[in-house]
Amino acid sequence: MIGSPTSAARRPGDAAAPYPAPGGATPLPPRPLLEVSGLAVHFPIRQGLFFSRQTGTIRAVDGVSFTIDRGETLGLVGESGCGKSTTVRALVRLLRPTAGSIRFDGVELTRLEGDALRELRRRFQMIFQDPYSSLDPRLTVEAIVAEPLEAHGVGTARERAARVAELLDAVGLPPAVAERYPHEFSGGQRQRIGVARALALQPELVAADEPVSALDVSIQAQIVNLLKQLQQRFHLTYLFVAHDLAVVRHMSDRVAVMYLGRIVELARAEELYRAPLHPYTVALLSAAPVPDPLIEARRRRIILSGEVPSPAAPPPGCRFHTRCWLRERLGRPEACETVDPAVRSVLDGHLVACHFAEQVGASAEQRRATGGGNEDAGWTDGGIGQTKGEAENPRSRGGRD
């Protein structure tokens, strides 16, 4: 068994250290594990082959702020191209942020380079979206899972082999598969290998970038329930990105909704699904079916007009105003086109970036999107299509994922 990657670092499950207080005063509450403020990731648009010049900027992520507490799961949702994956890659420093602050356990990540960044990376890891391209086809499973340990010089060869066997067992794969290659596995099995690799260094934070979107529905259920079991077993903190709103509801304590590079709503999962307060969130929820036929019969989908604006030329004011059903219903208020709405707290812990969020809360569109605003709004929180036994035992189905 390989010990802690950092001898002085606090391990998952340890009590979070409070902020120091001067003069022996009562300590302040524990700090969040991850604090993101004003994060921006921009990409230049260039023209010309030999004399290249910048002609514009893609604002993929443009002012994202949130926190994640220890042991929490924050879900990140939004349509394709809104900046979810770019946000995740910037947080783990696979992309260099253009602006903003990323503080991991009080340490500013944007200022770290070289060995200092490499050392801290042991404490946060990533699960990639594509289980096929994220695994090196030339390496065996043992080499893939042990690669982070070798890169950080953790353990002897025998200790690393033992750690690989332990990790494979934790994700529901027999240790005998260690000598096989990625092409010999199904998509679900490959994603289990990716999860094992992410856990190799005993991280505290795992950023999961749409880890089930490339899998079929039955396999999604197995991977999602596996992630929840691993979170409880290893006291993990998750940033979980997905398109499937039912999966996000099942996984998350809080949910953040992104649109065109910005977070437009953030709230506790049960509250956001029961009573969304941003027009875009209402439209997003209305497009996703729920498994309760009685509630589904009462729901009405909101069809948004127009196309998503280009992140190279976001509209002024509220970025959603060009497609907003609420703006049309209110007679096109000027503030929507001229004033960029700040993220504000409408209810306790319910953050919304909308000038007229209170109008959404009293709208027929909200009731129709959620099926009448009942407590669960038809969104299941149990097994995502699995029986209790299957949810508790990742090997219960048998066969290949």
DSSP characters over 212-252: TTTS-HHHHHHHHHHHHHHHHHHT-EEEEE-S-HHHHHHH-
Average pLDDT, the chain: 86
Would you state the structure tokens that stand for residue 331, as one six-digit string? 């007679």
pTM: 0.85
At 246, is the pLDDT very low, low, confident or very high (cuts 50, 70, 90)? confident
Would you state the structure tokens that stand for residue 37, as one six-digit string? 């403020």
CB count, 10 Å around CB of 223?
Answer: 27
Average of pLDDT values for 108-137?
Answer: 94
Average of pLDDT values for 301-322?
Answer: 93
pLDDT at 394: 44
CA-CA distance, 253 to 237, in Å (whole number)? 11
Average of pLDDT values for 258-281?
Answer: 95
Surface-to-core class of residue 393, CB atoms within 10 Å of its CB (0-12 exposed, 13-18 middle, 19+ buried): middle
Decide which of 219 and 168 is more confident. Answer: 168
User: Has residue 80 got a pLDDT over 60?
Assistant: yes
User: Has residue 89 got a pLDDT over 80?
Assistant: yes
Average of pLDDT values for 39-64?
Answer: 92
Average of pLDDT values for 2-17?
Answer: 42
At 28, is the pLDDT very low, low, confident or very high (cuts 50, 70, 90)? low
pLDDT at 207: 97
Backbone angles phi, psi at 304, to 5 degrees: -80, 140
DSSP E strand boundaries for 128-173: none
Backbone angles phi, psi at 363, to 5 degrees: -90, 150
Average of pLDDT values for 195-220?
Answer: 92
pLDDT at 27: 61
User: Has residue 280 got a pLDDT over 90?
Assistant: yes
Decide which of 361 and 318 is more confident. Answer: 318
Average of pLDDT values for 248-270?
Answer: 96
pLDDT at 26: 55
Would you state the structure tokens that stand for residue 150, as one six-digit string? 């070798």
pLDDT at 11: 43
Percent of residues, the chain, with pLDDT higher than 90: 67
Closest C-alpha to 211, from 220, 203, 202? 220
User: Has residue 147 got a pLDDT over 70?
Assistant: yes
pLDDT at 278: 96
Decide which of 387 and 156 is more confident. Answer: 156
At 387, is the pLDDT very low, low, confident or very high (cuts 50, 70, 90)? very low
User: Has residue 5 got a pLDDT over 90?
Assistant: no
At 216, is the pLDDT very low, low, confident or very high (cuts 50, 70, 90)? confident
pLDDT at 7: 35
In the chain the domains, ranked by start, together with CATH numbers, are 34-44+55-252 (3.40.50.300), 276-370 (no CATH)
Closest C-alpha to 211, from 231, 384, 200, 222? 222
Average of pLDDT values for 63-71?
Answer: 96
Backbone angles phi, psi at 273, to 5 degrees: -75, -25
Average of pLDDT values for 223-231?
Answer: 94
User: Has residue 399 got a pLDDT over 50?
Assistant: no
At 194, is the pLDDT very low, low, confident or very high (cuts 50, 70, 90)? very high
